[in-house]
Structure 1
């Protein structure tokens, strides 16, 4: 048999691959590309004090690497089995991506290079992190009950489809955490511009169940710099809030102070719950944010 195959066979395979790729949400393709730029790790698996002792066999899932297959055990049945060691025990990661109206904001100026909406960047980071986690054998799902944590590439497809759906109409979002499992890990991606008290209550409930995690604040550079002067009309993304001023520049220092105070409060809330907190601007590279998320999960284990 030829290693390359006939021209007709190669063309057929290419057409099949193109057809399969065309059915994937654009978010999925972008997240796959982003995930490839980050070295795959085993966050949540390298537990201190645990060694190489054999733990158990489990059926092979989509996304498992062939190097973990125990071929001797697999040869005794029709299925393939993975030989897990203590440091390979699967962990559970829950994701919450704020899809409220405020996350649709982008301060991109006309004629400038494209800058994504906050929500688009948050979804990209969440799905890329999910891809890395699934490749490490972890179970990944959402914090709500719509997508329970599961391993495998099929779960990534489900997450991509859910994240590609239309968002909420409310200005600011609060995570639904009723489905988060005890002792699991959670990642929140949001601008965290809503009621901080409600977020603090969510963190307290989760930390009381042994849940650790990461909060990544996603902001547009305009929201950080406040480059407005003169007559300006500020309006929330849903249109429910509106403020007009003739001297926007006079608000700059007060705005920046309030934003810094909110960030300090969020960081203190995260610290009290045993979580990590960071900020990412959509004008920065997604790779840097994904690396930070990956490292933050490592530090929080």
Structure 2
């Protein structure tokens, strides 16, 4: 039986990158002092909400043996407040997220993964369930959920949205510079299910300021589009107008669906982004 060299290479790369991401996320999480916000809370109520399949990390005492006896799977009772404890993340893996204007700022995608994992770490410490808003890593508890989520972020195979659990919360991290139709559809459908969340935009400083002059060749990260101009400064006003319009579009989407919208620049403190996100997502409880 021969091995698949491509699969092996990807697996080895994943094994090398996973511990650093988790370590960096834990370090960032530890740098944020949450005080009373870090403790477990009873939630919205103790009314029965639904049965759901048991997942790795669920304690044995939570299994409903009577319901499980009627199936080949184990089930747990989920209370109303437990349903609201799920926080699902979507981290954009498009080529534009690999951009960094200099060695002094991180790539947008790397920063998005770090912030997502740090926030997930804080939430797990508070007893919450975390996962991805894709089929790659469903919500779970504890270190297993964090490892599974980190693995899926480092080596994304499925980036399509799934139906988010009713009354859960969500965090979407992206530059939102591409086509936003799929994002708008996912947010609207989620809101119809009582899901609340945050649209967290990450931009490189040069994407916000457009500090270009003279002749420039602009190329998208995929390498398919290229624009050559002799005076880049002439494009500045048009670019900034389009960026302002995109932010207004995202802000309006958040307002209509009961979500929040925020822009963070990759040159700013990671801890500030994490603290803002934590308070934003906890405010949706």
TM-score, normalising length: structure 1 = 0.73
d(CA) in 2 for partners of 1:154 and 1:186?
20
Q: Aligned with 2:124: secondary structure?
A: helix
Q: Please, which runs of 5 or more residues in structure 1 have no aligned partner?
A: 1-21, 52-60, 65-84, 169-174
d(CA) in 1 for partners of 2:189 and 2:88?
15
Q: Aligned with 1:25: secondary structure?
A: helix
- Deviation of the 1:156 alpha carbon: 0.8
Q: Which residue of 2 aligns with 1:92?
A: 86
Counterpart check, 1:128 vs 2:118:
yes
Counterpart check, 1:140 vs 2:130:
yes
Q: Which residue of 2 aligns with 1:207?
A: 191
- The number of aligned residues is 243
- Deviation of the 1:25 alpha carbon: 2.2
* Aligned counterpart in structure 2 of residue 157 of structure 1, from 121, 130, 147: 147
d(CA) in 2 for partners of 1:121 and 1:220?
11
d(CA) in 2 for partners of 1:119 and 1:105?
8
- Deviation of the 1:114 alpha carbon: 2.5
CA deviations over 1:23-76 (Å, ceiling 9, x no partner)? 95211110000000123435994647x69xxxxxxxxx9799xxxxxxxxxxxx
Q: Which residue of 2 aligns with 1:194?
A: 178
CA RMSD of aligned residues (A): 3.0
Q: Which stretches of structure 1, 4 residues or more, deviate above 3 A after TM superposition?
A: 42-48, 61-64, 85-90
Q: Which residue of 2 aligns with 1:221?
A: 205
d(CA) in 1 for partners of 2:133 and 2:80?
26
The answer to whether the 8 A contact 1:45-1:91 is kept is no
d(CA) in 2 for partners of 1:245 and 1:157?
46
- Change in 2 beyond 3 A, CA 1:45/1:88: farther
CA deviations over 1:163-218 (Å, ceiling 9, x no partner)? 222689xxxxxx62224211111100000011133322221111111111011000
Specify which structure has the higher proportion of helix.
2
TM-score, normalising length: structure 2 = 0.77
Q: Which residue of 1 aligns with 2:235?
A: 251
d(CA) in 2 for partners of 1:47 and 1:35?
23
Residue range with higher mean Cα deviation, 177-186 or 27-36: 177-186
CA deviations over 1:96-133 (Å, ceiling 9, x no partner)? 0001100000011xxxx621000000000000011011
**Rg larger for:** 1
The answer to whether the 8 A contact 2:83-2:165 is kept is no
Residue range with higher mean Cα deviation, 199-208 or 23-32: 23-32
- Change in 2 beyond 3 A, CA 1:105/1:167: farther
The answer to whether the 8 A contact 2:84-2:167 is kept is no
Q: Aligned with 1:187: secondary structure?
A: strand
The answer to whether the 8 A contact 1:63-1:153 is kept is no
Q: Please, which runs of 5 or more residues in structure 2 have no aligned partner?
A: 1-15, 47-55, 60-78
